[in-house]
A and B are shown apart, each in its own frame.
Chain A
Amino acid sequence: MTTGTFLAILGAALAALFAGCGSAIGVSIAGQAAAGVISEDPDKFSKVLILELLPATQGIYGFIIAFITFLKIGLIGSGSLALSTAAGLSVLAGCLPMAIVGMISAIYQGKCAASSIAMVAKRGEVSGKGIILTVMVETYALLALLVSFLSVFMLNLG
């Protein structure tokens, strides 16, 4: 295995790692708020569950980038490529937006979700608005996903 291949795998690992950690923290923040609401009013379970799940997507995006990277460097499927160091660094750089933006946006989205859950506790009928507010944060994770995807996928690794 070359240093380049190692760097590419490192990039994939970082994307899955940081985005996954961020989602875990975000979902946990929202989940704690949700548990409080359910203890008062179990009927709101489905409403707060949707809000709790919103910060979970960053982990999935990180996973997607890791998977695409594995596919690209041939770890899955068509036999491993021997990447040059420069190529490996390029893949690593491409993975970084998903890793960093994914983690931070998931944590902050979790906080936003927790506030929306508190809002649902007071007024159940506005849960749709709470979802929209929370999803605003996710825009940037989606943009990071696209940037990481395009840079990893379009790279010519030869």
Chain B
Amino acid sequence: MLIGNNKEKKELLKTLTKAGSVEIGNTHDIERADNVDVGKRREEVSLKLARLTFAFDALKEKTSELKRMVKAKSADKSSVPKKVMFAPKPEVSYDDFVECTKNEDEIFRKIEEMNELNNEYVRLKSEETKLKSEAKAMSVFESVKLPLDIFRNTKNTVISLGSVASSKIEKLENLLSGVEYATCETGEDIGGSTAVVIVSVKESRDKVQEILAEVEFTPIGVSDVRRPADIIAHDKERIDAIAKRRSEIVEEIVSYEENTLSFKMLFDYYTLENDKLSAEEKMKSTGTSYILEGWLPKTEEENIDNILSSSPLALAYIIREPIEGEIPPTFCVDNSLVAPYQSVTNMFNVPCYREVNPNPFVAFFFFLFFGIMVSDAGYGLILTLASGFILFRMKPKKMDASLIKIIFMGGISTMFWGVMFGSYFGEALLPAVMFNPLDKPVNMLILSLGMGLFQMLTGMAINAYRLFKERKPLDAIFGVFSWYILIIGIAVIFLVKGDVGKITGIVLLAVGLVGLMIAGALHKKGVGIVSGAFGKLYGIINFFSDLLSYSRLFGLGLATGVIGMVLNQIAVVLVELIPVLGIVLAAALLIGGHLFNVGINTLGAYVHNSRLQFIEFFGKFYTGGGRLFAPLGSNIKYYYITDRR
């Protein structure tokens, strides 16, 4: 909690934004302190953000149009800005970052110029559409060699100039022959329509109109003093001019690309300004002072304390541990190997503040299982090299590009298991260190389920730890350790030969079962004791279905291996059947096929691996339902601020 002088509120928010490690929470209701209205300033900031968004959109849209123009050979390739794949985020120090508003007038002027160009572009486009439709309508009258205003009505005659569907000309002529003093001239058939001019005396006007309506006559305006052919030529000229100007505009707008970095910096800046306003809204204010409450990670406590105490601002603050009933946001402190796996956990649910941090466990098991699922040393090498290259180019900071980092580590795990199973691009180039899953499927199944049992028992152990921490030792002993005794019992029955093993095993099994029933009956009363106890026994079925779910480790590995094998065999057949060309075809098939296999199996490994963590592992101990720590100043998209932790 922090109290300070209203006049210095902005300065304080700036300090906190720079530190980037305090999340502003809702200040609780305090007598005679009110919320602050930031509506007007918010409007200004939103307007600026909207203009920057317009600039990004316009650049994107016009660049893709320019690319189309390059393809249609109507623009030069050199005008398209080059995009660098996997470019690292630009870096900036916080003080330089704040300086970006210095020349914001110039930047917004540039955006205004872009806006005007864009408006002109839209205007020209609608004019072009109009001209095109006019030229199309006029083309029917190209054979009329007279200026259009000749066809005006005279004192005693009515003249109708227009077009009729060519198929109805005969009908029109027939009908008109029944009208006195009416004559009709027709032009050539152009695109199914024919130009007609009907001259009649005023007296028969109504009759002629009726006939014209019947043949669906389309009149044309006769105010223009030019001949139709001239009008068409003029329209075409204008359309060409518009097309030229339009491509000029496209190139001009795209040339603003060079300002993208300043646009992006301003965008980040105003996003932060917007966040500061939201922070102010959460604070309370009296006549002269403001009150702020927020969260900060324990690791940052000293740092923030230093910043605040050495600050020249007039403020008073306390930093304390959260008390019971408060729900602080979650900030998981993980090392850089584990941190990428936060993205996996958070996809399921963000851990609760008071919960065991599951990320190190998730990282370990995800890494372990990824390799078994892809299980090919060659593919592992491809994954490691490809993601390593991207990481090298992007140089992502701690929390960025988690997926690529996970795949990079997964590639290493895949190489390890590929060597264990002796699989190199679907071929057994070297003998397996462990065994070949295709030769010994039962061993592979046992390995998969064994890995699963290992993960599930780990999950239960974490649960026991949690229960002890929550002072529920009985639940921990009966609910978790009974499982261990039960499983050891089963293992003893199968593994230890002779009657001694059998008896010990059965005793252990029975102890485990009774323990489980006691766990189910704890905290229950009356009939609940019985139903709770038997409910726990039913849990054994769930346990084994969870365990069998780990057979997917084998299934996915099998899919990778067999597809790779099939590809190689087809390639061999191609080389044998077709001379020379066969080698080319086989090479294309091998490269395309193996890349496809890597792709689809990496996707499979990622999603099935996540599932094992979420359902089988988290089901044992994890609840989640927390909220991610989102400190003021962290919401920046394009830049990386260097001088903060």
Contacts from A to B (Cβ < 8 Å): 50, 53-54, 56-57, 60-61, 63-64, 67-68, 76, 128-129, 131-132, 135-136, 138-139, 142-143, 145-146, 149-150, 153-154
Known interface pairs A60-B600, A153-B441. Does A67 touch B566 (Cβ–Cβ under 8 Å)?
Answer: yes
Distance to closest chain B CB from A72 (angstroms): 11
Further pairs besides A60-B559, A67-B562, A132-B614: 7, Cβ < 8 Å: A131-B607, A132-B610, A136-B611, A139-B549, A139-B611, A145-B558, A150-B441
CB–CB B552/A132 < 8 A: no
Q: Across the interface, which residues of A come within 8 angstroms of B388, CB to CB? A: none
CB–CB B558/A128 < 8 A: no
Q: Across the interface, which residues of A come within 8 angstroms of B438, CB to CB? A: 153
Q: Across the interface, which residues of A come within 8 angstroms of B558, CB to CB? A: 64, 145-146, 149
CB–CB B441/A143 < 8 A: no
Q: How far is the CA of A61 from the CA of B555 in the complex (A)?
A: 9
Tell me the nearest residue of chain A to B448, going by C-beta: A146
Interface CB pairs A-B, < 8 A, 26? A50-B603, A53-B603, A54-B607, A57-B559, A60-B563, A63-B563, A64-B558, A67-B566, A68-B562, A76-B569, A131-B607, A132-B610, A132-B611, A132-B614, A135-B608, A142-B555, A142-B556, A142-B608, A143-B548, A143-B555, A145-B555, A145-B559, A146-B551, A149-B441, A150-B445, A153-B441
CB–CB B563/A64 < 8 A: yes
CB–CB A146/B554 < 8 A: yes
Whether B187 sits at the interface, judged by CB under 8 Å, is no
Q: Which 8 A-B pairs rank lowest in CB-CB distance, beginning with the nearest? A: A142-B555, A128-B347, A64-B562, A135-B607, A142-B552, A146-B555, A145-B555, A131-B607
Whether B604 sits at the interface, judged by CB under 8 Å, is yes
CB–CB B347/A53 < 8 A: no
Q: Which of A57, A63, A129, A136 contacts B604 (CB 8 A)?
A: A57
Q: Which of B558, B563, B610 has the largest number of chain A CB atoms within 10 A?
A: B558
Distance to closest chain B CB from A100 (angstroms): 17
Tell me the nearest residue of chain B to A65, going by C-beta: B562
Q: Across the interface, which residues of B come within 8 angstroms of A145, CB to CB? A: 555, 558-559
Distance to closest chain B CB from A71 (angstroms): 9
Say whether chain B's binding surface is mostly helix, strand, loop, or mixed: helix
Q: Across the interface, which residues of A come within 8 angstroms of B604, CB to CB? A: 57
Q: Across the interface, which residues of B come within 8 angstroms of A131, CB to CB? A: 607
Q: How far is the CA of A132 from the CA of B344 in the complex (A)?
A: 11
Distance to closest chain B CB from A148 (angstroms): 11
Say whether chain A's binding surface is mostly helix, strand, loop, or mixed: helix
Q: Across the interface, which residues of A come within 8 angstroms of B347, CB to CB? A: 128-129, 132
Q: Across the interface, which residues of B come within 8 angstroms of A149, CB to CB? A: 441, 558
The number of residue pairs between A and B whose CB atoms lie closer than 8 Å in the complex comes to 64
Contact indicator per residue, chain B 529-571, by CB within 8 Å of chain A (1) or not (0): 0000000000000000000110110111011001100100100
Tell me the nearest residue of chain B to A42, going by C-beta: B64
Q: How far is the CA of A25 from the CA of B441 in the complex (A)?
A: 31
Q: Across the interface, which residues of A come within 8 angstroms of B608, CB to CB? A: 135, 138, 142
Q: Across the interface, which residues of A come within 8 angstroms of B442, CB to CB? A: 154
Known interface pairs A146-B551, A150-B441. Does A64 touch B559 (Cβ–Cβ under 8 Å)?
Answer: yes
Q: Across the interface, which residues of A come within 8 angstroms of B348, CB to CB? A: 132
Q: Across the interface, which residues of A come within 8 angstroms of B554, CB to CB? A: 146
Known interface pairs A132-B610, A142-B551. Does A61 touch B603 (Cβ–Cβ under 8 Å)?
Answer: no
Q: How far is the CA of A19 from the CA of B441 in the complex (A)?
A: 23
CB–CB A61/B559 < 8 A: yes
Distance to closest chain B CB from A123 (angstroms): 14
Tell me the nearest residue of chain A to B549, going by C-beta: A139
Q: How far is the CA of A60 from the CA of B554 in the complex (A)?
A: 15
Q: Which of B551, B559, B563 contacts A143 (CB 8 A)?
A: B551
Q: How far is the CA of A54 from the CA of B610 in the complex (A)?
A: 15
Tell me the nearest residue of chain A to B347, going by C-beta: A128
Q: Across the interface, which residues of B come within 8 angstroms of A146, CB to CB? A: 445, 551, 554-555, 558
Distance to closest chain B CB from A77 (angstroms): 8
Q: How far is the CA of A53 from the CA of B606 in the complex (A)?
A: 14
Q: Which of A56, A64, A139, A153 contacts B552 (CB 8 A)?
A: A139
Q: Across the interface, which residues of B come within 8 angstroms of A128, CB to CB? A: 347, 610
CB–CB A132/B607 < 8 A: yes
CB–CB B549/A57 < 8 A: no
Tell me the nearest residue of chain B to A154, going by C-beta: B441
Q: Across the interface, which residues of A come within 8 angstroms of B559, CB to CB? A: 57, 60-61, 64, 145
Tell me the nearest residue of chain A to B610, going by C-beta: A132
Q: How far is the CA of A63 from the CA of B347 in the complex (A)?
A: 32
Q: Across the interface, which residues of B come within 8 angstroms of A60, CB to CB? A: 559, 563, 600
